[in-house]
Amino acid sequence: MTTATDSEGGTLAVEIWRGKDAGQFETYTVPQRANQTVLDVVTWIQRHAEPALAYRFACRVGVCGSCAMTVNGKPRWTCRTHVSKVAGEGALRIEPLRNLPRLKDLAVDMTPFFEKWQRAQGRFTPTRTRNDPLTTVSPQSAGRKAADAGIECINCAVCYSACDVVGWDDGYLGPAALNRAWTLVNDERDGDRAGVLKAASSGGGCHSCHTHGSCVEHCPVGINPTAGIAGLKRWSIVELLGGKLP
Amino acid sequence: MIRPARNHPGFWAFVAHRVSGVALALFLPLHFLVLGLALESGDALDRMLAVADRPVFKIAEWGLVVLLTVHLCAGLRVMALEFLPWRDTRKGLIGIGAAIALLVGALFMLRAG
Ligand code: HEM
Ligand code: SF4
Ligand code: SF4
Ligand code: FES
């Protein structure tokens, strides 16, 4: 897409949050470049205008999940968000992610996000040793397909930041942790799927979700956590009624 | 103020669902109170019904019928999303729900008028 903001030579007015909870927006004038990403803009400011600016990134190609920020009001992965796509009139406002404790400037503390991942038992429980043969899982099985749909999560916390229930309820595990739990409940190799289901459907778990779909709307890799959470809701009810995981 | 991250059909459906749900919760006790009058005395009910015949009440009643339909459709959508094994967000369902609510509202207008 070619827009005015794509052209060389112009400038962008970029507002960036400076400070922790108390702080203010500072405005920087940044030269425009073709195919510039929001992360490029933040990096330009740090290199040329504000060496003390705190922010996070690593891979720059949408793999590591460390560069998420709030850009013009929406949570986004900044390394793969083109300025031309989000800066309407050549203006950007960049803030830290919502729903996580702020550290400094654009960096947030991801600890609660990963702690909830563990509370949802979002980790694989092995049943074999390295000496056993590999399990074969049919790509056609329903469980494999369900797990596949949610497995590409990059732990960026964009969904967590978009979710209003996370904002309302400190105890809510959030879309990413529950999506991970859903992939494990569907993983026939996991040694404690019943335990995952229990962890993911207890207080603050899947039943707290109100199906707003803000997570689906913003997940940069196209995962639909709402569908996985709905699956957890169904399975926890099936199990309550005496049914067993397939 | 509505934050940009909330501006999508799924969130608006939720807002409509909650607003209609709370409004119904506030209204229903009144509704039952009026119905209860029928048991106590026909007179009181008749007086109440005369009051309720005024246009402002007609409009209020129309609003409630629409609210109930909005809430019903939004609730059915949530249950469909959660209990049927669909993977996408079925935004079409929001439109269908809104259309049904408008239709019921229009029908009620015609019959009340
Ligand atoms: C007509 C049949 C009804 C259906 C099918 C229905 C369905 C639902 C469903 C599925 C929810 C959960 C939404 C969520 O997960 O966020 C809900 C929420 C709610 N309902 Fe109903 N409901 C009905 C009637 C009523 C009535 C008569 C009232 C008023 C007393 C009411 C008040 C509420 C309220 C206050 C909520 C909370 C809204 C929210 O959490 O977003 N509902 N309803
Ligand atoms: S669908 Fe559930 S998890 Fe996703 S944003 Fe809404 S409340 Fe949060
Ligand atoms: S589900 Fe999507 S938005 Fe959420 S952490 Fe994973 S990749 Fe990020
Ligand atoms: S820097 Fe790795 S995902 Fe953006």
- Name the average pLDDT for chain A: 93
- Asked if the model's pLDDT at residue A147 lies above 90, the reply is yes
Percent of chain B past pLDDT 90, that is, above it, reads 9
Output the pLDDT for position A8. 61
Residue B9 lies in a domain: no
Does residue B27 fall inside a structural domain?
yes
ipTM: 0.72
Written as one string, the DSSP assignment of A169-202 is -TT---HHHHHHHHHHHT-TT-TTHHHHHHHHHS
**Residue A4 pLDDT grade (very low, low, confident, very high; cuts 50, 70, 90):** very low
Can you give the residue range of the structural domain that contains B34? 17-112
Mean per-residue pLDDT for A3-16?
A: 73
Q: How confident is the model at residue A2 (pLDDT cuts 50, 70, 90)?
A: very low
B61 within a domain of the structure (yes/no): yes
B51: in domain: yes
DSSP, collapsed to helix, strand or coil, labels residue A77 as strand
Question: How many domains are contained in chain B?
Answer: 1
Q: Is residue B103 assigned to a domain?
A: yes
**Is A189 a residue whose pLDDT tops 60?**
yes
In whole angstroms, give the CA distance from residue B105 to residue B109: 6
pLDDT value at residue A20: 96
Q: Quickly state the pLDDT bin for B87 (edges 50, 70, 90).
A: low
Arithmetic mean of pLDDT, A238-246: 81
Which CATH number characterizes residue B100's domain?
1.20.1300.10
One-letter amino acid for residue A128 of the chain: R
pLDDT at B1: 46
Assess if residue B8 is contained within a domain: no
Share in percent of chain A as helix, strand, coil (round to 5): 40, 15, 45
**CB contact at 8 A, B7 and A203:** no
pLDDT tens by residue, A26-84 = 999 999 999 999 999 999 999 999 999 999 999 999 999 999 999 999 999 999 999 99
H or E element at residue B91: helix B91-112
Instruction: State the number of CA atoms in the 13 A half-sphere of A174 facing the CB.
Output: 31
Q: Which of B24, B30, B68, B71 to mutate to test the pocket of ligand 1 (most atoms within 8 A of CB)?
A: B71
pLDDT tens digit string along A88-111?
A: 778 999 999 999 999 999 999 999
Q: Is residue B70 part of a domain?
A: yes
Answer whether residue B69 shows pLDDT above 80: yes
Tell me the backbone φ, ψ of residue A92, rounded to 5 degrees. -130, 140
The confidence score (pLDDT) of residue A188 equals 93
User: Domains in chain A, start-ordered, CATH in brackets?
Assistant: 11-108 (3.10.20.30), 111-241 (1.10.1060.10)
pTM, two decimals, is 0.86
Classify residue B81: in a domain, yes or no: yes
Contact A211 B6 (CB under 8 A): no
The ligand 2 atom at the shortest distance from the C-alpha of residue A175 is 3
Nearest CA in chain A to B91: A213
Q: Where are the extended beta strands (E) located within A128-179? A: none
**Mean pLDDT, residues A114-138 taken together:** 94
Ligand 3 site: residues with CB under 6 angstroms? A 153-159, 175-176, 179, 219, 221, 223, 225
CA-based nearest residue in chain B for residue A72: B4
Three-point CA angle B74, B75, B77, nearest 5°: 65
Q: What would the two tokens of residue A7 be? A: 């052209």
**Residue A144: is its pLDDT beyond 50?**
yes
Q: What is the DSSP letter of B84?
A: S
* Banded model confidence at residue B113, pLDDT cuts 50, 70, 90: low
